[in-house]
Chain A
Amino acid sequence: MAPKYDVVVVGAGPAGSAAALTAARAGLAVLLIERGAYPGAKNVSGAAFYGSRLLHQLIPEFWKQAPVERYVSRRVLNVLTETDQIALSFRSESFTEPPYNAWTVLRPRFDRWLASEAVRAGATLLTDTVVDGLLWDPSNRQVVGVKTRRPNGDIEASVVIACDGVNAFLAREAGLRPPADPHQLALGVKEVIALDRAQLEDRFHLVGQEGVVQEYLGGLPGIRGGAFLYTNRESLSIGVIAQIASLIESRQAPYTLLERFKTHPAVAPLVRGGVVVEYAAHMIPEAGYDGIGEVWCPGLMVAGDAAGLVLNAGIYLEGMNFAIGSGIAAGETAAAVLAQGGPGGQNLRRYRELLEERFVLADLRRYRKAPSLVMAPEWQETYPELAAEVLRAVFTVHPTPRAKAGAIVGEVLRRHGRSWWQAGRDLWRLWRVLGR
């Protein structure tokens, strides 16, 4: 007997809802399973959404109906030391016009809306349901459905799409990904801080629905990671991201790091007077291309965080667009395979090919060396400190003759035990990984 569902999608986050929407539009019978009481109940990210053009292709002018917060008109890259801040701010009028470039969103609301679009396209949404494992055919070679934690909870499907998030229990059960590794996973802790709207717009120089995304590198001794601060309509999202291995080694607690970041002299005035309305935590798969493993096996495709599809390259930290991009590719592959008739589901190689051709794996491949480079101690601590010392010397005025920049850099390098040659080589490495 043919299974009741062509496709079972596990997890109604951006990957799952995009997959369900795509498959349902192609006429497939789709079941979208969510363990929370509503889609978004378990979902956490910054959340800056860099997929405006991508989602616009799927749902034209989505921003007119979706619960988005602010479009990102300005990005600020910050380098912090314990006392200093270096910032590079970029604002573009081109970011303020449709189809926009990026948005800040609040995930419980945004994800709930995206799942409702999948339902509108014909998918069936089943909430309050945990999937504990995969159903395999008798030969144990093909996934034929999922086991839910409900009485008689087995659900058969021609194709299963696992979008169950960073813990990736289903992909690991299928042997597609190695066990979770504290060097490949970061913990993000975050607060949403309510702030009066007029005060927020004044404080961040925003007009109308404009928003700003600020990223921070450095300032967290012993931690491989960074921090962020995003503006929502009437709140801020602020958080710290730390590789779990670095939390273990440095014996630092995530909430202490968040507190330290919030009280940094460059950050404290931005959050002053705000009220914490929600605290959240979530892991992030940060290893990039080399941490992915395989994304499919017969009967199963893995998308989004569950497949490790996060771009982590210093100036970029993006996940939701990669989730949606992979979800679309999985939905398309299911539709193409099942349209050929027959049992389908065995050969889902096309999914990997689509990801490699499109930005999802093309970008991760291009930046495959970035995660280890941006986590290296010289870029986490040495150069932020060095750059701040140089600028401090350049801008500090004494009533004595001043040194020119070259002499200052030479002196600072010497203090840090680095030669010009070493610094040049490090810069060249950075350029090779991020720029060339």
Chain B
Amino acid sequence: MDPVAGEPPESAALVADRLETVKFRVDSEPHIRVDTTRCQGCELKPCLWVCPAQLFTLSGEEVLFSYEGCLECGTCYVACGLKAISWQYPRGGYGVMFRDA
């Protein structure tokens, strides 16, 4: 995973360690979809750093994303100025399962 632009390289580790503490029941259907053609016109790309699970990464010029570690906050679609992210809740019973263990 590429580190976030402008972030120290250890940021990926910061997130990975934290996500290990979270329980997920992953659906086979993604609940996040990104119209990546719009991302090409986006200079800022705030999704790369606002997502608390760092699910959006850059590969060359292209925005890649995953949905499996989503904490379901909604920050990505709120932050996306080009409305490229369509975000819905995962299927009932799937997704993140907070326990406050």
Chain A interface (Cβ < 8 Å from any Cβ of B): 35-37, 40-44, 106-109, 127-130, 132, 148-150, 166-167, 169, 180-182, 185, 187, 189, 191-192, 235, 244, 247-248, 251-256, 259, 276-283
**Does A283 contact B74, Cβ atoms closer than 8 Å?**
yes
Contacts of A107 in B (CB 8 A): 98, 100
The answer, among A37, A109, A127, A255, for a CB contact under 8 Å with B18, is A255
The answer, among A128, A148, A281, A282, for a CB contact under 8 Å with B53, is A281
Could you count the A-B residue pairs with CB atoms below 8 Å apart for me: how many are there?
129
The answer, among B92, B93, B98, for a CB contact under 8 Å with A278, is B98
Q: A253-B7, A276-B18 are in contact. Are A281 and B52 (CB under 8 A)?
A: yes
Check B82 for interface membership: any CB of A closer than 8 A.
no
**Nearest neighbor of A191 in chain B, beta-carbon distance:** B18
Q: Which 10 A-B pairs have the closest CB atoms?
A: A128-B93, A106-B100, A279-B18, A281-B52, A128-B92, A281-B71, A253-B49, A129-B92, A248-B46, A281-B73
**Does B50 contact A256, Cβ atoms closer than 8 Å?**
no
A184 to B18: give the CA distance in the assembly, Å.
Answer: 27
Contacts of A106 in B (CB 8 A): 100
Interface residues of B in 8-47 (CB under 8 A from A): 8, 11, 14-15, 17-19, 21-22, 25, 44, 46
A182 to B71: give the CA distance in the assembly, Å.
Answer: 18
**Does A108 contact B52, Cβ atoms closer than 8 Å?**
no
A279 to B49: give the CA distance in the assembly, Å.
Answer: 17
Chain A proximity of B66: nearest CB distance (Å): 16
The answer, among A130, A235, A247, A282, for a CB contact under 8 Å with B92, is A130
The answer, among A43, A247, A276, for a CB contact under 8 Å with B46, is A247
A43 to B14: give the CA distance in the assembly, Å.
Answer: 23
**Does A247 contact B96, Cβ atoms closer than 8 Å?**
no
Contacts of B88 in A (CB 8 A): 130, 132, 169
**Does A247 contact B50, Cβ atoms closer than 8 Å?**
yes
**Does B77 contact A180, Cβ atoms closer than 8 Å?**
yes
**Does B18 contact A248, Cβ atoms closer than 8 Å?**
no
Q: A180-B78, A244-B75 are in contact. Are A280 and B11 (CB under 8 A)?
A: no
**Residue from B8, B18, B91 with most neighbouring chain A CB atoms (10 Å):** B18
Contacts of B21 in A (CB 8 A): 191, 276-279
**Residue from A107, A187, A235 with most neighbouring chain B CB atoms (10 Å):** A187
Chain A proximity of B79: nearest CB distance (Å): 6
**Nearest neighbor of B17 in chain A, beta-carbon distance:** A276
Q: A276-B21, A279-B19 are in contact. Are A42 and B78 (CB under 8 A)?
A: no
A313 to B11: give the CA distance in the assembly, Å.
Answer: 32
**Does A44 contact B44, Cβ atoms closer than 8 Å?**
no
Chain B proximity of A393: nearest CB distance (Å): 33
Check B64 for interface membership: any CB of A closer than 8 A.
no
Contacts of A254 in B (CB 8 A): 50, 52
The answer, among A127, A182, A255, for a CB contact under 8 Å with B11, is A255
Q: A37-B25, A132-B88 are in contact. Are A248 and B96 (CB under 8 A)?
A: no
**Does A149 contact B49, Cβ atoms closer than 8 Å?**
no
Contacts of B8 in A (CB 8 A): 256
Check B6 for interface membership: any CB of A closer than 8 A.
yes
Contacts of A41 in B (CB 8 A): 96-98
Check B4 for interface membership: any CB of A closer than 8 A.
yes
Contacts of A259 in B (CB 8 A): 14
The answer, among A43, A189, A247, A277, for a CB contact under 8 Å with B79, is A247
Interface mask (B61-76 → A, CB under 8 Å = 1, otherwise 0) = 0000000000111110
Chain A proximity of B92: nearest CB distance (Å): 4
30 residue pairs of the A-B complex, CB under 8 angstroms, read A36-B97, A37-B25, A37-B97, A42-B98, A106-B100, A108-B99, A109-B100, A127-B92, A130-B88, A130-B91, A166-B74, A167-B74, A187-B52, A192-B100, A248-B46, A251-B46, A253-B11, A253-B49, A253-B54, A254-B50, A255-B54, A256-B8, A256-B14, A259-B14, A276-B21, A277-B21, A278-B21, A279-B21, A279-B71, A281-B75
Chain A proximity of B45: nearest CB distance (Å): 10
**Does A149 contact B54, Cβ atoms closer than 8 Å?**
no
Chain A proximity of B31: nearest CB distance (Å): 9
**Nearest neighbor of B87 in chain A, beta-carbon distance:** A167
**Nearest neighbor of B18 in chain A, beta-carbon distance:** A279
**Does B44 contact A248, Cβ atoms closer than 8 Å?**
yes
Q: A251-B49, A252-B49 are in contact. Are A283 and B22 (CB under 8 A)?
A: no
Contacts of B53 in A (CB 8 A): 281
Q: A248-B79, A280-B71 are in contact. Are A255 and B15 (CB under 8 A)?
A: yes
